Every structure is written in structure tokens, then in C-alpha cells.
Amino acid sequence: MGVGGCLVLPWRCLVVLCLRLLFLVPAGVPVRSGDATFPKAMDNVTVRQGESAILRCLVDNRVTRVAWLNRSSILFAGNDKWCLDPRVELVTNTQTQYVIQIKDVDVYDEGPYTCSVQTDNHPKTLRVHLIVQVPPKIVEISSDISINEGGNISLTCIATGRPDPMITWRHISPKAVGFLSEDEYLEITGITREQSGAYECSASNDVSPPVVRRVNVTVNYAPYISGAKSTGVPVGQKGILQCDASAVPSAKFQWYKDDKRLSEGQKGLKVENKAFFSRLTFFNVSEQDYGNYTCVAYNQLGNTNASIILYEISEPTSSTLFQEETTALQTTRQGPGAVHDGNSDGSRTVASVWLLSVLLFHLLPKF
């Protein structure tokens, strides 16, 4: 399209106008280019979209008339503006250079621009090509997706820009290494739960920093019980059984004992269900509470179960406590690095009195 709002003429009429009216040369005189003595114009001009482009033509005192053209449109002839586009301005018109400026450049401004001059009754032209660079922009990307484990997915990321942006996909994961794809499309077959998470599409073309968008991929799978440990508890004490399970969507839990389902509200029992575990709490364990318990974890993709045993252990007796405390004392007095001095006999006497008091403390309640 070129610069908008300029006077547009058929090509042959433009040539006649440029040769006869603008430069006042007789018919039949050719327009020549490539003359070594012709004043030099700029090389190709590269600007980013939205910036200003400066088009400069270097001239000398031999030049009598000069103009800037864009395709079939006359932008400026000398100091006269032929273009209605307000973005086009004359910057300099001197004996050494002829410069125009195009503000807020867009992609339709890209293309050839011609500096045409009149010297010694001979018109000469030289072209400058304006290149407009456009930062990358992601115009289409896949929505977040949820898929069952083992399925296939295809992610799409479409971007525009000048030059064409390079598109890469990567998995945002501590275990991920390098790019998964250097293309607009990312294909994953037989997806696993480890491949769930965010996938990042990056579009870059060195015009501006890369543009990044993300797609969240949720991989659904049936529950898997990762922790279920049997527990020993004395009668009358508090006991806890816990069942850990991972699943997407999160698992729901049920507890059974001897094919009888346990529920919240039973006397002395609390059932606590969270996203990744279920906990069964006995506030005062009785003989009837001991036995085999089954934890069932399930979601719409499947279910699994684990057996957990609540078993009885004995409480420590007074003799056991006495033996443990005696052993602790001996370890303290005779352990590695112990220091022995002349007061050892007095220390033995104090220790004997202490042991006797401990023994009486444990025996008196039995009388």
C-alpha cells in the first residue's frame, strides 16, 4: 500500500509528470541510475513498528530539483508536500541533503522509496528499501487441558511478527531438560502423570524480548496409596492409623474393619479426610479396637486399598523403668570420656541414695 493519502497516478503518467513537469526535461531523455557521480542515498532503512523512519538523500550544488517518491506516490517535491499523510514530514532540504521522516511506521509503509534529482538537465534516481520490523505476538494458543493418563495431546501456538518469530515449547518442571519442540505444535503421546504441569510457548525474533504464554496440562489418574503403616498402641492410649494416597482428581477415602464401614461420629473414633491422606484416630484404645483395618481410596478413574493393623503393645512396667533409669545413670557416670577423681566414693553414695528414692517412688503406689 505504501504511505497513505498520497497522490496516486498510473505509472506511465507518473513518469511523464516526473520528466516533463517536475524536472522540465524534454521528451525522450532517459531516466538513468547507477551513475558513479550521482549523489548517494542511504542504504536500506530498518525500523521497528511504531518508530520513525528517516529517509536521507545526499546531494550537492549541482542538483537543481529533488523529490521523494514511494511506489506510484509523490511524497515531497522540493519543499512542496504532495502527500496528504500527516505522518510524512520534510526534515531537511539543503545543498547537501534532502531528508524526509515517516512517523509511527507500520507494515504497510514497507517497500521501495525513490530519491529523484535533477542535475545538468539529466534526472537520476536511486532507491532505498524501508524494512519494518514487528515484535512477536502470540495470536493463538491452546486452552488449558485435562486428560486421562495414557492419552494423547496436541498443543498449538501461533505467532506473528517480522521477521517471522521462532517458536519453542518447554515443560516447566525441575526434571525437564531443553526444549520439547521448536515448532508451532507440540505432540505428546501416551502422556504420564509426570508430564502434567505448565507448558510454556515462547515466540522470539530479536526485535523485542520474547513473548511467553503458558498452557496448563492436568493429567488424571487413579489413586495410588503411598503410605499405610501398621501401629502398636497400649490399651487406654490414643492410637492413630493414617493412609496416604495420590490421585487426580483427589481421592476420597473410606475405612473398614471386618467388612464394616467406619464413619465419623462413632464413639471414641474420629475420621479425618484430606486431599492426600485420611486419618483414623482412637481416643481411648480398647481390646475391641485391635485388628485389621482397610483403607480404600477412590475417584472416578478407579480405586485401591491397603490393609493396616492396629495391634497391642504393653505399657512399660516399674521394673522396666527402674532398669532404664539405672542404665542411663551408668552411661552418664562411666561413658566414654568420663572423668574420675578423688570424690568418686562420695558420688557413689549420692547415687545409691538417688536410686533408693526412685525405687520407693515406684513401689509405694502398689501398697
Residue identified by cell 517497500 is 111
Euclidean distance between CA atoms 4 and 312, whole angstroms: 91
Give alpha helix (H) positions in the chain: 11-16, 318-334, 344-363
Task: Summarize pLDDT for 1-53 with one digit per residue, the tens.
Answer: 566 555 444 433 444 344 334 443 332 223 333 344 555 556 789 999 999 99
- How would you class 251 by CB atoms within 10 Å of its CB: exposed for 0-12, middle for 13-18, buried for 19 or more? buried
* pTM > 0.85: no
pLDDT of 17? 46
Query: By C-alpha distance, which of 153, 59, 162 is closest to 110?
Result: 162
Residue 56: pLDDT band with limits 50, 70, 90: very high
Query: Nine-digit cell at 101?
Result: 521522516
Is the pLDDT confidence value at 199 over 90? yes
> Half-sphere exposure (CA, 13 Å, Cβ side) for 172?
12
Mean pLDDT score, 327-346: 40
Query: Nine-digit cell at 16?
Result: 511523464
Longest dimension (CA), the chain: 140
Higher pLDDT, 288 or 327: 288
Is the pLDDT confidence value at 241 over 90? yes
Secondary structure of 190-224 as H, E, C letters? CCCHHHCEEEEEEEECCCCCCEEEEEEEEEEEEEE
pLDDT of 254? 94
pLDDT of 175? 77
pLDDT of 176? 73
Mean pLDDT score, 94-101: 92
Distances in Å between the Cα of 144 and the Cα atoms of 147, 194, 199, 296 are 10, 17, 10, 31
3-state helix, strand, coil in the chain (%, to 5): 15, 50, 35
Distances in Å between the Cα of 127 and the Cα atoms of 51, 60, 113, 115, 367 are 21, 18, 6, 6, 118
Euclidean distance between CA atoms 283 and 33, whole angstroms: 101
Residue identified by cell 572423668 is 339
Report yes or no: 7 and 83 within 8 Å, Cβ to Cβ: yes
At residue 288, φ and ψ (nearest 5 deg) are: -70, -20
